[in-house]
Structure 1
Amino acid sequence: MKTTPLHSWHCSQGANMGEFGSYEMPLWYPAGAKAEHLAVINTAGLFDTSHMAVLTINGKDGRTLIQRCFTKDIDACIGQNKTPLVAGRCVYGIFLNQEGGVIDDAIVYQFTDNDYMLVVNAAMGKTIQTHLADHVLPDEQVNVHDLTDQVGKMDIQGPASGRILAKIIKDPAVLFDKMIYFSFKGSFDQNKLPFLQAELLDNTPLMVSRTGYTGEFGFELFVAPQHITSLWQQLLEAGKEEGLIPCGLAARDSLRSGAGLPLSHQDIGDWPFADNPWLFTLPRDPDSNSFTKNFVGREMLESMASSTWTLPFAGYDLRKIPLGEKSKVTDLDGNILGIPLTCTTDMAIDRVNHAIISLASSEEEGKPENFQPKGLCCGFVKINTKLDAGTQVILTDGKRKLKVEIREDIRPGRTARRPVTKMIPSL
């Protein structure tokens, strides 16, 4: 298995390690996955994400190539008015194959009109590079570089993340000024490494992105691999008083599930990308059922009829079932409907008078005084019929049966989109 530059630190701290995407990664630390999940909701958590793959696309036809291969229309993707992607902004979308199945999901960052960066999943750098290269036309000028293992990356997530980051950054007011959701501060380096514009107090350059994979307020940080251990330790030291702790993949999984975010190759995969909660990534014309651009996989999506639906669910307690060949979704009468794709436990939520309430919910939203959630299982199912929100189904592994509810959303009160000025009042 491959390792990240922080591997020895994880082992020295007693992390429980496991394989993910060909990397040996921390699953949880001695504090435990529950404590790590709750830290992100209440204070902040720090995640090693250097296993993610980074690519750059350069050249006058780079934007055209992205438009051809990426589902999101980057000429109409920003804000309610759907303005074009510009320097300093990034957007989430999907890479599809010709059959309409998912190769991987990604975030595209724009540095200049000719320079872009992609962040894709672990072990997917070469695959996406090849996919893009296969769709470059003979007369186009574009280069695609796979920077796998050449960029250090970590995520600091949670309501205190901005206050912690501000302690080790030069000119935090400048960095956080107008830093809205899915924007970033960084510039394109001619050596193909996307750093600069932001600096630590020790002069280390880095790129700061207002993104994450938890549904909570936070940032993704990009830095040269030789600086990542120092940055990690600086953040943990700066965040001691705020309650910052390191977090593993188990908490990352439960947090993203409660936030309604898919895991590529599990919740989305080599089946047609249709009838799921993430169709906002498709370039649909708001006034019709057509698409606003041509892209790889379009013809298949337009021609096929619906046959499966991917839907979010939440249970009534923290119990969950393991995923496997025997795992099934049935209706209340035992008729098989499909399979569970993700089943985990969001420890920050519980039901109050039938409504789901989060630790991050306000009293006006129904959170009782001294609210202590026990947690609810949640995730996604892929089934052969469309069900309305509120419909109850059964998850079973052949032994245990869990009644769960189809939902439109899972964890309320998420903070990811909240203004920086609200989350860092001292600015």
Structure 2
Amino acid sequence: MSEPRGGAEPRLRRELGLFDAVVIGLGSMIGAGVFTALAPAAGAAGAALPLALALAAFVAYCNATSSARLAARYPASGGTYVYGRERLGDFWGYLAGWGFVVGKTASCAAMALTVGTYAWPDQAHAVAVAAVVALTAVNYGGVRKSALLTRVIVAVVLAVLAAVVVAAATSDRATADRLDLGAGLADAGVGGVLTAAGLLFFAFAGFARIATLGEEVRDPARTIPRAVPLALGIALVVYAAVAVTVLAVLGAGGLAGASAPLAEAVRAAGVPELGPVVRVGAVVAALGSLLALILGVSRTTLAMARDRHLPHALAAVHPRFGVPHRAELAVGAVAAIAAGTLDARGAIGFSSFAVLVYYAIANASAWTLRSAEGRRRRVVPALGLAGCLVLAFALPPASVLAGASVLAAGAAGYLVRRRVARRVTRR
């Protein structure tokens, strides 16, 4: 098993077991997906929404499998930044890390804005900033405290979603006619389904949080490969149940046009009293996702700072709490600024593109594993790589342009820094 570079650097504490790792993954995925991605995905895929969900889940499975095998081999903070660096070279590791940090920082802003929109629409940006500050403080106190809070959040959200599914499924408004996949595919076309799958992939990307916490998981070679598919499988079951029942009640047009689709679904199902409960669930879910996002981004920032791709001061680990406190504060500050200034929909599209590129590099890294290193069939990383690239470029053009521009800027910065370093060395 390979250890991270920089052996003299202080290490993080291994405090997370299988249950906590699964819960952190669920906290990331459920908050991001159910309350933010279903409506725009329905707008792209129509009644073929379940097909798009299945495609997104399949690509996520390939990515999860590749990531789990790599995480067991390289149990260090940083996720695909570490895998790409070790398997493909410094540039590809850097590009993955850069894409993850900027993409997921945008996701932090989107989740914070979701909290603000549901909790206090007139002051959404102010509430969003406050949410980032509060959860950064929670993470600063140690990953164990974060995991305990995530347990509570996941339990509350699952209970709310179960109530939504029961209310929608037992309603007289739910009809199977609204689930005509063939008609939906004919209306939306393959392009519409691919676009929807790219948007829904945003909802599955939370399993990466398990891998990026590799340095804080006990027995990572055993725990991570088990935790990733477990979290992904539970999330898929939840998404499928919610998507099918809400689509059956609202129809594709109603779902696509709803600003708060789950609240609208329970109202249409004849249970309007569940509306406030759903809003509370949305706030709690977004908080859970934001909590895990800050955890994951700060750990990748830590890994990049250790290799001096980011300021080395960010590599510090708190002597008491055992967390990368400077990285967490830096990520929290940038996310707070973004939450106070950005639009949530734009942030989600940009994040989806950057994260799909991130996983494309993860699959390419997994392709290079030998049988003795945990590789099984190469078809999984091959399909994952192809799927990530197809979904990334099927996203709305504005998202593709913004994501590609930021990744290109990061790559240019890397190449300039390398050239300057070589000149200094020659002198």
Give the structure-2-normalised TM-score. 0.26
Specify which structure has the higher proportion of helix: 2
Specify which structure has the higher proportion of strand: 1
